[in-house]
Structure 1
Amino acid sequence: MSRLFVTPALTGALLFALTASPESFREPLLAQLKQYLSATNIARTITALKWLLAIGLASDAHAWLSEFAQNNFRLQSEKHRYDWPKEIAVVTGGTGGFGSLMCKELAEKGVNIMCVDIRDDLPPDMKNNPKIHYFKCDVTNRQAVADMAQQIRQRHGNPSILINNAGISGDGSMFDQTQDSLEKIFKLNVISHYYTVQEFLPAMAKNKKGHVVTIASVASFVSPPGLVPYANTKVAALSFHEGIQHETRIFHDAPEIKFTVVHPTFAATPMAAPFMDDLAAAKAKVIKPTMVSNAVVKQVLSGRGKQLIIAPGTHPVVYLRSLPYWLSNLGLKIADSPMKKQLMIMQEKRKLRQKQ
């Protein structure tokens, strides 16, 4: 709703009606308003509309320029170069959560899906789809990724779409983390991206056609207590996205390759299932997984790259990094007391679960 008030189409139309429309329309409108508002308040309303229009136009320009930059300052989409029934997409972590939804949605569009995960086989709702092919692989193992990639190339050809979706969550204080838990989350959430890109990006660059999608999080912008390792990996995922886009231009001379980074908030996926009670108690916004999968599929099909922030109600978090440190940290400090209370409740619940 707040976005509506700075939509240029609305504020511009209202401002035009009050100040620049034909007199035969404007005068009766102002006369009607004067029955409810003083001349001073009408003038203030017009001034407010001017500011809202300026803010809306600036916001739209900011969004357009950001997407322009995300596409290497190229106006033209690469959509015309794709023949979807002939395209091959690799989706890691493809059997559950966002991954399974993206696999099925892309398959519906005719794309040939190489679903990658660590379970023995596809789940029943994906198994009979002729467009979805399964490859069991531990993407944290460099040799396993190389073997999987070789199988895909031999059986199907070079992929033009790579969606690095595989990931795990983590919770608890930094001081509760073990060597195994830290290595596991960083290997899967960050290092595996290097392995898959090393295998599939060179052919994309050679063909001057491809799209790499990185699933990050709103935790890329803020590291909440109790989720620090997870947030660290998502900061790294954002940095990976930015770095690989730049390197592809510099080292591969392939500005045609598209890159998309996705920042969802909490979603009702199996990964979040253990924390749903805690999220409900904290009154956290939990989105439907289809909001993420739909957005990713739409972006891939557009032939353009973008930074997708899918976090209703939490957009201000994104801008914390651009504020002076004292101001952003002040905002976080204000939340200390309620967050501390909630974390204590979560810790007690975790102890009870461990005893059981």
Structure 2
Amino acid sequence: MLLRWLLFVAQTLVLVAKALVGSLLPPKRRDLRADHVLITGGGRGIGRALAREFARRGARKIILWGRTEKCLKEAAEEIQAMGTECHYFICDVGNREEVYRQAKAVREKVGDITILVNNAAVVHGKSLMDSDDDALLKSQHINTLGQFWTTKAFLPRMLELQNGHIVCLNSILALSAIPGAIDYCTSKASSFAFMESLTLGLLDCPGVNATTVLPFHTSTEMFQGMRIRFPNLFPPLKPETVAQRTVEAVRQNQAFLLLPWTMHILVILKSILPQAALEEIHKFSGSYTCMNTFKGRS
């Protein structure tokens, strides 16, 4: 028993040392030239920026899913103008039957998906008591359950091919919730647990990996009107920045990515400070009231 414990400690230290060395030396990056990338919520915002970034990095085909044909068509034309083959399909990821139906259509028209980017999300932006029940359900269906359906639709073939990557565009609100967005925070926390479990479940699956991205507030129309007390100290991220860092994380096979790096401090503080102190930080930083001016879209 003692020998097993010593071996476990030694293996852990070796992996920590390996990670430290890997952070200093450039790792081997995934070549995207043979990849078919499917992005949910790909018509605008971060999804559209991701489509452009994957195209720039040489992805063979880009497939966009979304609920608004106008946005999808414009995004697809933009990607095609960059010289990359691009297709779009109207699909509500919160609808299980629709996901499975469109996944089959993608396979028949485009081929196997090797990178799935779960980016689609909505936010109701109200307190629990002010929220409409249907709007609350919509957030859970799209932000959380949608990932179940898309992953179940495409992961089996990735496992067969021993080639695939599941990506989740999550949010730092999955780890540190705020008032006024209870639907979004809850769904993102569930989504994070889903990806954490999935990532561990893929440890013995060669060639198939997962990446979870947890960005700070990003300047898209979805969170339009949200106000942080110190915008110069904590400026919102640009969609292009999130897209660039996400694609790089996929190429490096990075399991979890917090943006910006200062979000690591938030996670550490939350794990060591008492609740009363955390509440004061929320009030001082303005996150306690940042959704009061929310005007975003769902």
Q: What TM-score, normalized by structure 2, do the two folds share?
A: 0.80
Aligned twin of 1:270: 221
For 1:341 and 1:137, locate their aligned partners in 2 and report how far apart those are by CA, in whole Å: 33
Which secondary structure does the structure 2 equivalent of 1:91 belong to? strand
Aligned twin of 2:244: 294
RMSD of aligned residue pairs (Cα, Å) = 3.0
Q: Which amino acid aligns with 1:106?
A: F
Within 5 Å, give how 1:122-271 maps onto structure 2: 122-124=72-74, 126-128=76-78, 129=80, 130-249=84-203, 253-271=204-222
Decide which structure has greater helix share. Answer: 1
Q: Which amino acid aligns with 1:234?
A: K
* Counterpart contact for 2:167–2:210, Cα < 8 Å: yes
Deviation at 1:247, TM superposition (A): 2.8
* Identical aligned residues as a percent: 25
Aligned length: 272
Deviation at 1:342, TM superposition (A): 6.5
Which secondary structure does the structure 2 equivalent of 1:114 belong to? strand
C-alpha spacing 1:270/1:336, structure 2 compared with 1 (3 Å): closer
Deviation at 1:204, TM superposition (A): 0.6
Task: Pick from 65, 68, 72 the counterpart of residue 116 of structure 1.
Answer: 65
Deviation at 1:314, TM superposition (A): 3.8
C-alpha spacing 1:206/1:246, structure 2 compared with 1 (3 Å): same
Which secondary structure does the structure 1 equivalent of 2:200 belong to? helix
Which secondary structure does the structure 1 equivalent of 2:92 belong to? coil
* Counterpart contact for 1:92–1:163, Cα < 8 Å: yes
Aligned twin of 2:7: none
Task: Pick from 39, 49, 68 the counterpart of residue 91 of structure 1.
Answer: 39
Per-residue displacement from partner, 1:164-201 (whole Å, max 9, x unpaired)?
00011232222212211110111111000000000000
* Counterpart contact for 1:104–1:126, Cα < 8 Å: no
Task: Pick from 19, 22, 29 the counterpart of residue 64 of structure 1.
Answer: 19
C-alpha spacing 1:77/1:259, structure 2 compared with 1 (3 Å): farther
Q: Which has the higher contact order (CA 8 A, sep 6+)?
A: 2
Aligned twin of 1:106: 54
Deviation at 1:307, TM superposition (A): 0.7
Deviation at 1:152, TM superposition (A): 0.9
For 2:210 and 2:171, locate their aligned partners in 1 and report how far apart those are by CA, in whole Å: 16
Deviation at 1:318, TM superposition (A): 1.7
* Counterpart contact for 2:178–2:287, Cα < 8 Å: no
Which secondary structure does the structure 2 equivalent of 1:263 belong to? strand
Deviation at 1:206, TM superposition (A): 1.0
Aligned twin of 2:268: 319
Deviation at 1:321, TM superposition (A): 4.8
Aligned twin of 1:334: 280
Q: Which amino acid aligns with 1:64?
A: A
Per-residue displacement from partner, 1:212-231 (whole Å, max 9, x unpaired)?
11111111211112222211
Q: Which amino acid aligns with 2:243?
A: S
Deviation at 1:109, TM superposition (A): 2.5
Q: What TM-score, normalized by structure 1, do the two folds share?
A: 0.68
For 2:250 and 2:260, locate their aligned partners in 1 and report how far apart those are by CA, in whole Å: 19
For 2:271 and 2:259, locate their aligned partners in 1 and report how far apart those are by CA, in whole Å: 19
* Counterpart contact for 2:179–2:291, Cα < 8 Å: no
For 2:44 and 2:283, locate their aligned partners in 1 and report how far apart those are by CA, in whole Å: 35
Which secondary structure does the structure 2 equivalent of 1:274 belong to? coil
Aligned twin of 1:30: none
Per-residue displacement from partner, 1:101-153 (whole Å, max 9, x unpaired)?
11111122331111111112435354151422111111111111111111111
Per-residue displacement from partner, 1:70-89 (whole Å, max 9, x unpaired)?
xxxxxx9683xx5x333211
For 2:66 and 2:188, locate their aligned partners in 1 and report how far apart those are by CA, in whole Å: 20
Which secondary structure does the structure 1 equivalent of 2:166 belong to? strand
Aligned twin of 1:308: 257
Q: Which amino acid aligns with 2:239?
A: P
Deviation at 1:309, TM superposition (A): 0.4
C-alpha spacing 1:337/1:150, structure 2 compared with 1 (3 Å): closer
Unaligned regions of 5+ residues in structure 1, if any?
1-57, 69-75
For 1:61 and 1:223, locate their aligned partners in 2 and report how far apart those are by CA, in whole Å: 30
For 1:320 and 1:132, locate their aligned partners in 2 and report how far apart those are by CA, in whole Å: 43
